[in-house]
Structure 1
Amino acid sequence: MAGHGGRTVRDLRRESRSSVLQRLYFDGPMSRLALGSAAGLSSGSVSNVVAELMADGLVEEAGTLGTDGGRPRTLVRFAAGRGRLVGVDVGETRVRVELFDLSMSELARTERVLPGHGSRSYDAGVVAGHILDGVTEVLATQGATQGPAPGPGELLGVGIGVPGIVERTADGTLVHGQTVGWDAVPLEGLLRGSGRLPPHVPLFVENGAKTLGQAEMWFGGGRGARDVVVVLFGSGVGACVVTDEVERGRALEWGHLTVRVRGRRCRCGARGCLEAYAGAEALLARWREAGGEPPPGADEEAALTALLAAAGPGDGGAADPVAARVLAETAEYLGAGLADLVNLFQPERILVGGWAGLQLGPALLESVRTHTLAHALRHPAGRVGVALGRLGPHAVTVGAAILPLAAFFARGGRRPPVDSPAPVPAWQASLGGRLAWQRGRG
Structure 2
Amino acid sequence: MSVRSGRTVRDLRRENRTAVLQRLYFDGPMSRFSLGPATGLSSGSVSNVVAELVADGLVEEAGSVDSAGGRPRTLLRIRRASAYMIGVDVGETRVRVELFDMALTELARVERPLDPEGPRRVDRYEVGVVVGHVRDGVEEVVRQAGVDPERLLGVGVGVPGIVVRDPGGQAVVHGQTIGWDAVPFERLLRAAVPLPASVPYVIDNGAKTLGQAEMWFGAGRGVRNAVVVLFGSGVGASVVSDDLRPGRAVEWGHLTVRVRGRRCRCGARGCLEAYAGAEALLERWREAGGQPPAGADEETALTSMLAAAYPADPGTAPDATALAVLEETAEYLGAGFADLVNLFQPERILVGGWAGLQLGTRFLETVKGYANEYALTFPASRVHIGLGTLGPDAVTVGAAILPLADFFARGGRLAPPDVEEAAPAWQETLRERAAHG
With the length of structure 1 as denominator, give the TM-score of the two structures: 0.91
Structure 1 residue aligned with 2:270:
272
Structure 1 residue aligned with 2:136:
133
Structure 2 residue aligned with 1:391:
390
Structure 2 residue aligned with 1:144:
147
| CA distance in structure 1 between the partners assigned to 2:394 and 2:207 by the alignment | 10
Offset at residue 314 of structure 1 (A): 1.0
Structure 2 residue aligned with 1:354:
353
For 1:162-188, what per-residue CA distance to the aligned partner results, in whole angstroms no more than 9, with x for missing partners?
001001112421100000101001111
Query: What is the RMSD computed on CA atoms of the aligned residues?
Result: 1.8
Structure 1 residue aligned with 2:176:
178
For 1:94-117, what per-residue CA distance to the aligned partner results, in whole angstroms no more than 9, with x for missing partners?
111111111111111111111246
Q: Does 1:158 find its partner at 2:155?
A: yes
Offset at residue 298 of structure 1 (A): 0.3
> Which of 293, 301, 304 is 1:303 aligned to?
301
Offset at residue 409 of structure 1 (A): 1.0
Q: Describe how 1:202-351 pairs up with structure 2 within 5 A.
A: 202-242=200-240, 248-316=246-314, 317-351=316-350
Q: What secondary structure is seen at the aligned counterpart in 2 of 1:131?
A: helix
Offset at residue 69 of structure 1 (A): 1.9
Contact persistence 1:233–1:355 (CA under 8 A): yes
After superposition, the Cα gap between the structure-2 partners of 1:344 and 1:294, relative to the gap in structure 1 and judged at 3 Å, is: same
Structure 2 counterpart of 1:300, one-letter code: E
| CA distance in structure 1 between the partners assigned to 2:342 and 2:408 by the alignment | 35
Comparing 172-181 with 108-117, greater Cα deviation is found at: 108-117
Structure 1 counterpart of 2:27, one-letter code: D
Structure 2 residue aligned with 1:435:
none
Offset at residue 68 of structure 1 (A): 2.5
Contact persistence 2:215–2:242 (CA under 8 A): no
Q: What secondary structure is seen at the aligned counterpart in 1 of 2:81?
A: helix
Offset at residue 261 of structure 1 (A): 0.2
| CA distance in structure 2 between the partners assigned to 1:389 and 1:419 by the alignment | 41
Comparing 202-211 with 411-420, greater Cα deviation is found at: 411-420
Structure 2 counterpart of 1:363, one-letter code: R
Structure 2 counterpart of 1:230, one-letter code: V
Q: Describe how 1:42-121 pairs up with structure 2 within 5 A.
A: 42-116=42-116, 119-121=120-122
| CA distance in structure 1 between the partners assigned to 2:378 and 2:242 by the alignment | 18
| CA distance in structure 1 between the partners assigned to 2:294 and 2:93 by the alignment | 17
| CA distance in structure 1 between the partners assigned to 2:71 and 2:15 by the alignment | 30
Comparing 94-103 with 76-85, greater Cα deviation is found at: 76-85
Contact persistence 1:176–1:184 (CA under 8 A): yes
For 1:129-161, what per-residue CA distance to the aligned partner results, in whole angstroms no more than 9, with x for missing partners?
1011111111111101113xxxxxx21110000
Offset at residue 246 of structure 1 (A): 12
Offset at residue 419 of structure 1 (A): 8.1
| CA distance in structure 1 between the partners assigned to 2:234 and 2:381 by the alignment | 28
Structure 2 counterpart of 1:19, one-letter code: A
Contact persistence 1:200–1:417 (CA under 8 A): no
For 1:66-104, what per-residue CA distance to the aligned partner results, in whole angstroms no more than 9, with x for missing partners?
122222221111112211110000012111111111111
Instruction: After the TM superposition, list the runs of 4 or more consecutive aligned residues in structure 1 that deviate by more than 3 angstroms.
Output: 243-248, 417-420
| CA distance in structure 2 between the partners assigned to 1:296 and 1:64 by the alignment | 60
Offset at residue 245 of structure 1 (A): 12
In structure 2, stretches of 5+ residues that fail to align are 420-437
| CA distance in structure 2 between the partners assigned to 1:34 and 1:419 by the alignment | 34
Q: What secondary structure is seen at the aligned counterpart in 2 of 1:112?
A: strand
Contact persistence 2:156–2:400 (CA under 8 A): yes
Structure 2 counterpart of 1:346, one-letter code: Q
Q: Describe how 1:177-196 pairs up with structure 2 within 5 A.
A: 177-194=175-192, 196=194
Q: Describe how 1:373-388 pairs up with structure 2 within 5 A.
A: 373-388=372-387
Q: What secondary structure is seen at the aligned counterpart in 2 of 1:393?
A: coil
Comparing 192-201 with 321-330, greater Cα deviation is found at: 192-201
With the length of structure 2 as denominator, give the TM-score of the two structures: 0.92
After superposition, the Cα gap between the structure-2 partners of 1:236 and 1:400, relative to the gap in structure 1 and judged at 3 Å, is: same
Q: What secondary structure is seen at the aligned counterpart in 1 of 2:181?
A: strand
Offset at residue 36 of structure 1 (A): 1.5
Q: What secondary structure is seen at the aligned counterpart in 2 of 1:379?
A: helix
Structure 2 residue aligned with 1:428:
none
Identity %: 70
Contact persistence 1:235–1:280 (CA under 8 A): yes
| CA distance in structure 2 between the partners assigned to 1:275 and 1:71 by the alignment | 61
